[in-house]
Structure 1
Amino acid sequence: MAVAYFVTHPEVIIDPEVPVPQWGLSARGHERLQAFCARPILNSVSDIFVSDERKALDCAETLKSLRNLEFRIDPRLGENDRSSTGYVAPPRFWEIVAEFFAHPDTSILGWETAADAQRRIKTAVTESIAGRTGKGDVVIFSHGGVGTLLLCDLLGEPISQNRSQPISGGGCYFAFDADTLAIRHTWQDIVPEQS
């Protein structure tokens, strides 16, 4: 059975003068992503889907260059819409994120609600998988917030920040069966530590 990998972009260049969706990967993010894209677990990938945000596109372009695979862009794979506030520096950002997850049906400071973002990401992922052209595995490059929402849904759990990726800078993935959507494993580092 084909596997779907939901992958969050790793570290980015944070620039308050640039809209968040236009942020690209940092040197460290590129390094980690290159290592992930070379991993043998991706040998059977036939289809790549990606958010239209620059940091996710950087990921898809890296996998394309290493594996000679085209990718398809779907804006619905983007992060929860936070354009009402733009960039918010920590620690205030993390306070807002906590409210976002704690009150999924409420728009916090004009942000897209967690419930709406969850429906959007689930639809985008299932439609992407249904529309794949190959018979191999699928990689979806997206973002941590919506990844948490999708993981909660696939596990049949209520929306909760408890399912957030374990690396705050990003660069994690979870895997699920592409046909049944059954979880194979929850969040793991894209580049596991060598033992």
Structure 2
Amino acid sequence: MHQRIWYLTHPQVLVDPAKEIRDWSLSNLGQRRVITLANSNALDRVTAVISSTETKAIETARPLADALNCELEVREQMHENDRSTTGFLPSKEFEIVADQFFASPDTSVRGWETATAAQSRVVAEIRNCLSVHEEGDVLFVGHGAVGTRLYCYLFGVPIDRKFDQGSGGGGNFFQFSTLQSRPTSHWRPMEDMTGN
């Protein structure tokens, strides 16, 4: 059987303007969605679970790794695009800045990491991980914006927000087999994993 590689974004979070964004936790809904997936056998061929260092990603990855009896591997370079210069932005303002971020991938918008830099970073980190995990399915748990950069890289298309996972709070995935192949699925809700 060929190797399957999954990229899963964390589901819904508790938005807390007083907390560092990287420290946000999953909401009750997000936790329930993760537990449902962990209790299924959808990922039974996964032998490696690799997560971003952000709390919401770890809270998604750890129950899945535990259910699979896998060690959780945490990788610093899988974090979401660095937007620490602005910190928390109200939803309406965030959407405006995010649109600018996607529209000008080589430009730092309000001090954010550029989209191109974020893409290079996450692709390099996934390449490094896959060079070690060459057998068995691999589950990467990360974030929507850098996940979209990876998605665009795999499809060989320019960075564009139209390829984003969409609204709904996250908890979506796509699947691919190598960094040289297109994804075998587009963004789909994590609940669809049980149908693979």
Q: What TM-score comes out, normalization by structure 2 length?
A: 0.94
1:39 Cα offset (Å): 3.4
Q: Map 1:162-173 to 2 at 5 A.
A: 162-173=162-173
CA distance in 1, matches of 2:178, 2:106: 28
CA distance in 1, matches of 2:138, 2:113: 27
Q: Do 1:80 and 1:112's aligned partners in 2 also have CA atoms closer than 8 Å?
A: yes
The 3-state SS of whatever aligns with 2:100 is helix
Map Cα deviations across residues 29-64 of structure 1 (whole Å, 9 max, x no partner): 000111223333301000111100000000111112
Q: Quick check: 1:73 aligned with 2:74?
A: yes
Q: What TM-score comes out, normalization by structure 1 length?
A: 0.94
Q: Which residue pairs with 1:53 in the alignment?
A: 54
CA distance in 1, matches of 2:82, 2:193: 33
Structure 1: which amino acid aligns with 2:33? R
Q: Map 1:63-142 to 2 at 5 A.
A: 63-132=64-133, 135-142=135-142
Q: Which residue pairs with 1:174 in the alignment?
A: 174
Q: Which residue pairs with 1:6 in the alignment?
A: 7
Q: 1:178 to 1:138 in 2, by over 3 A?
A: farther
Gaps of 5+ in 2: none
Q: Do 2:42 and 2:193's aligned partners in 1 also have CA atoms closer than 8 Å?
A: no
Structure 2: which amino acid aligns with 1:108? V
CA distance in 1, matches of 2:157, 2:114: 17
Q: Which residue pairs with 2:146 in the alignment?
A: 146
1:127 Cα offset (Å): 1.1
Paired residues in the alignment total: 193
Structure 2: which amino acid aligns with 1:122? V
The 3-state SS of whatever aligns with 1:183 is coil
Gaps of 5+ in 1: none
CA distance in 2, matches of 1:178, 1:42: 18
Q: Quick check: 1:19 aligned with 2:17?
A: no
Q: Which residue pairs with 2:34 in the alignment?
A: 33
CA distance in 2, matches of 1:125, 1:99: 26
Structure 2: which amino acid aligns with 1:143? H
Q: Do 1:138 and 1:178's aligned partners in 2 also have CA atoms closer than 8 Å?
A: no
Identity %: 34
Structure 2: which amino acid aligns with 1:191? E
Q: Which residue pairs with 1:184 in the alignment?
A: 184
Across the aligned residues of Structure 1 and Structure 2, the Cα RMSD in angstroms comes to 1.7
The 3-state SS of whatever aligns with 2:5 is strand
Structure 1: which amino acid aligns with 2:158? P
Q: Do 1:2 and 1:179's aligned partners in 2 also have CA atoms closer than 8 Å?
A: no
Q: Do 2:52 and 2:142's aligned partners in 1 also have CA atoms closer than 8 Å?
A: yes
1:73 Cα offset (Å): 0.9
1:180 Cα offset (Å): 4.2
